[in-house]
Every structure is written in C-alpha cells, then in structure tokens.
Amino acid sequence: MNYIEYFLYCFAVVIMIATPGPVMLLVASAGLKGGYRRALQTIFGTNLASLVLIAASIAILKGFLTISEQWFNAVKVLGCLYIVYLGIQILREVWQGDVGTASASGTVANGGFKQGFLVAISNPKDIIFFASFFPQFVQITPNLNLSLGILTVSWIALDFATLSCVYLMFNRFSRSKMYQHLLACCGVILIVVALYGIYATLF
C-alpha cells in the first residue's frame, strides 16, 4: 500500500471536515441544543450521506453513472439554498430566545439523523470532494476495490472522530454567556458559506 498517499488522504479528510462548513456547524448547533445524543444522531445522518456520495463517486469512477455539468450545478445550488434556510432558522431561534427549548420544539435547525443526512447530501463541499478529490487516491493499493474499501472505511472513521471532537469543543461553551452568540455565529457562517457556494457555482 502507498502509505504516503493514504496519510495525505487522511490529513485532507480531517482538514476538510474540521473546516467550518454546513456539516460541522450543524453538528455543533445540534450538540449545543440537544447534547451529545443529538449530536451523535446528526453525525450518523452525515455518515450515511457520505456513504451515498461515495457510492455515487464509485459508480461514476467505474463508468456506471454519468452526470451532466448542468445537473451537477443544479444540485449544488439547491443544496446551498437549503443550507441558507437552515442558517436563517438558527438565527430566528436566537433572536426569538427559543434556543433553550429548541430540542423540545423540533425545529428544522435542531439537527438529528434526518437533518444531518439532508445537510450532508446537499453540501456542495462534500459533493465536490467525492466527485473530484476522492478518485485521486484510488491507487493507494494495486487492487481498486480494496483501495475503495480502505478509503471509505477511513472516511467514516475520521468523519465520526472529527465531528465528535467538534461537539466536545463546542460543548465547553454551552453553559457560558457565549452560548447564544456562538449559535448565532453558526447560523451566520452557514448562510455566508452557502451564498458563496451559489456565487461560485453560477459565476
């Protein structure tokens, strides 16, 4: 196995997941409002979405699936719009003072398995990663299927570990006066990232 390429892949995955983006911020928001159980449910949802995107990437790589650029861009824009919607919902909760009861109210920005899946499956950053970056590392072993298996399992493990660390870091602020401000920042960054994604896709 080409260990240099493999460790470069692992490093890139951790950096991409830890970089502020829709998935990381949703996990942080869910953890702040619902504790580790809610954050864990959200992470499981994002992991399933990653598996779906990996499967699509493998299908494209093996020639079983082709996607036109127009459809690809349309998916990215719709995903960005959905993420903008989530950011607005988080900000509304903060402004209305509902953050303390968010986990009981079932709002759309509350995280959970379904929310984690929808955000991750529509996240332009993840779509681009699995469509363009992931296939570059399929030569880490001479056997394509073995390489794909190693890359997939590594992604899931690193995704789970990194997002869990994100939750633990944000959880330290959950009882502080910074709580509402931190949650509001999550909402603002979600909106900014999504709007930039729309701009980059269309222009």
pTM of the model: 0.67
pLDDT of residue 98: 52
User: What is the DSSP code string of the chain?
Assistant: --HHHHHHHHHHHHHHHHSSSHHHHHHHHHHHHHHHHHHHHHHHHHHHHHHHHHHHHHHHHTTS----HHHHHHHHHHHHHHHHHHHHHHHHHHHHT-GGGHHHHT-TTS--HHHHHHHHHT-HHHHHIIIIIGGGGTTSSS-HHHHHHHHHHHHHHHHHHHHHHHHHHHHTTTTSTTHHHHHHHHHHHHHHHHHHHHHHHH-
**Residue 153, pLDDT score:** 92
Q: Which residue is associated with the tokens 């299908």? A: 59
Q: What is the pLDDT, as a whole number, of residue 150? A: 92
Per-residue pLDDT of the chain (203 residues; tens, 9 = 90+): 888 889 988 988 887 787 667 788 788 878 777 777 888 888 899 889 888 888 888 887 777 766 677 876 777 787 678 778 777 877 887 777 654 444 433 444 567 888 889 888 877 667 777 776 777 788 889 998 898 899 989 998 998 898 888 788 777 766 666 667 777 787 787 788 778 878 877 88
Task: Using only the alpha carbons of the chain, give its radius of gyration.
Answer: 17
Question: CA 103 to CA 145: how far, in whole Å?
Answer: 42
The packing angle between helices 22-61 and 144-171, to 10°, is 170
